[in-house]
Amino acid sequence: MSDEAVKYLYSKRGGPFHDKSCPKAQHIPDEELGYSEKYLSNISQCPLCAVKAYVRLGAKDFYNYPLYERLFRRMRFTPVLLRRMYVNEKIRTSASSNGLTIWGKEDSWRLEFWDGSDTMRLMHNNYYPLPDGTRIFTGGYHLQAERATANYAFTAISGYTYADHKAAMLKREQEQFALKVDVLPEGFSAKKDDLSGAKKKVFWVWKKFIELLRKFFRKRSKCTCKPWRQADLPGWMLLHLKWWGGTASPQTRFAFAALFVVGARLLCYTESYARAFFERGEAYQWNVGTK
């Protein structure tokens, strides 16, 4: 094992785990000395070198250690919290004079001072949701919490996965929808039979037309995207840039792009118009069902 790779020291006869710079580790006799590149969490940590050992484990910029010490004091990170963060949750960080960049399970965050004071805010990386359920990171950060503490940030970051976040959003959406249904005006019914004969026919044709357009979009792009949903359209285009790009000339590509944007927009409008028109009829349910 090369000296460079060694990060931690301990005694094979027991006792605490040390950062390799710890003065207490100097007293371990050579024949007992154990070297480790990895952080061994099953050995109790020496309190003297704890913070340094954690930073060596999780910081991408260990050379910034003096800055970390200052930041942790100002941000009120305790050694216990740092252990949970770096050892238990395997969070990575980098430091700058006004705060920390923190990498959680999937996302990156900024815990930073603002307002020229010790007040901290938590920023979350920007992303764009794609219709296939994944997302792309678009660079930069947005505000997650205007007032954050070290503990708050740790809880928010260590608990965050995109799947959980989406599940929570869906639940909220459903709850809000349930609320809307509750306050629908009297006489509302989602049953087919409540549409008058003529309306029913118009609705049927309309529905077929929309289904046809939907099929067209799906078939051409071989996917299950819903580009007619306003929110899905840009993501759909991103996913299918290749398809409408291809080897065609720039003019053809432009024409395709324009055609699809116009087509998808048309579908958006047609659908929302149908929704408004048949607000009290089957369309209402139909829209909910196909959302």
Task: Confirm or reject binding of residue 223 to Zn ion (CB under 5 A).
Answer: yes
What are the phi and psi torsion angles at 112 (to 5°)? -140, 155
User: Closest CB to Zn ion among 180 and 222?
Assistant: 222
Shortest separation between residue 56's beta carbon and Zn ion, angstroms: 12
Question: Which one of residues 225, 264, 274, 283 is an interface residue with Zn ion (CB under 5 A)?
Answer: 225
The 8-class DSSP code of residue 281 comes to S
The CB density around residue 266, as the number of other CB atoms within 10 Å, is: 12
Shortest separation between residue 95's beta carbon and Zn ion, angstroms: 22
Q: Which stretch binds Zn ion (CB under 5 A): 32-40, 135-143, 214-222, 272-280?
A: 214-222
Shortest separation between residue 277's beta carbon and Zn ion, angstroms: 28
Q: Which stretch binds Zn ion (CB under 5 A): 68-76, 153-161, 176-184, 220-228?
A: 220-228
Among 81, 77, 20, which residue's Cα sits nearest to residue 46?
Answer: 20
For residues 2-21, which are near Zn ion according to CB under 5 A?
A: 18
Q: Two tokens at 122?
A: 């938590």
CB 141 within 8 A of CB 126: yes
Among 264, 175, 271, 164, which residue's Cα sits nearest to residue 218?
Answer: 264
Cα(97)–Cα(100) distance, integer angstroms: 8
Cα(64)–Cα(115) distance, integer angstroms: 24
Tell the residue number behind the tokens 């099929």, with chain if given: 215
Shortest separation between residue 175's beta carbon and Zn ion, angstroms: 28
Alpha helix segments (H runs only) across the chain: 50-58, 65-75, 79-83, 150-159, 162-182, 197-221, 233-239, 241-245, 250-277, 282-290
User: Closest CB to Zn ion among 47 and 159?
Assistant: 47
Shortest separation between residue 22's beta carbon and Zn ion, angstroms: 3
The HSE-up count of residue 6 (CA atoms within 13 Å, CB side) is 14
Task: Confirm or reject binding of residue 24 to Zn ion (CB under 5 A).
Answer: yes
Question: Which one of residues 8, 11, 22, 57 is an interface residue with Zn ion (CB under 5 A)?
Answer: 22
Q: Which stretch binds Zn ion (CB under 5 A): 42-50, 84-92, 117-125, 147-155?
A: 42-50
Question: Which one of residues 9, 46, 51, 87 is an interface residue with Zn ion (CB under 5 A)?
Answer: 46
The CB density around residue 250, as the number of other CB atoms within 10 Å, is: 8
Shortest separation between residue 275's beta carbon and Zn ion, angstroms: 23
Shortest separation between residue 103's beta carbon and Zn ion, angstroms: 26
Shortest separation between residue 245's beta carbon and Zn ion, angstroms: 14
H or E element in which residue 112 lies: strand 108-113
Task: Confirm or reject binding of residue 48 to Zn ion (CB under 5 A).
Answer: yes
User: Closest CB to Zn ion among 87 and 239?
Assistant: 239
For residues 226-245, which are near Zn ion according to CB under 5 A?
A: 239
The residues near 237 (Cβ < 8 Å, ≥ 6 apart) are: 227, 244, 257, 260, 261
Task: Confirm or reject binding of residue 49 to Zn ion (CB under 5 A).
Answer: yes
Cα(261)–Cα(130) distance, integer angstroms: 16
User: Closest CB to Zn ion among 190 and 261?
Assistant: 261
Residues lying near Zn ion in the complex (CB under 5 A) = 18, 22, 24, 46, 48-49, 221, 223, 225, 239
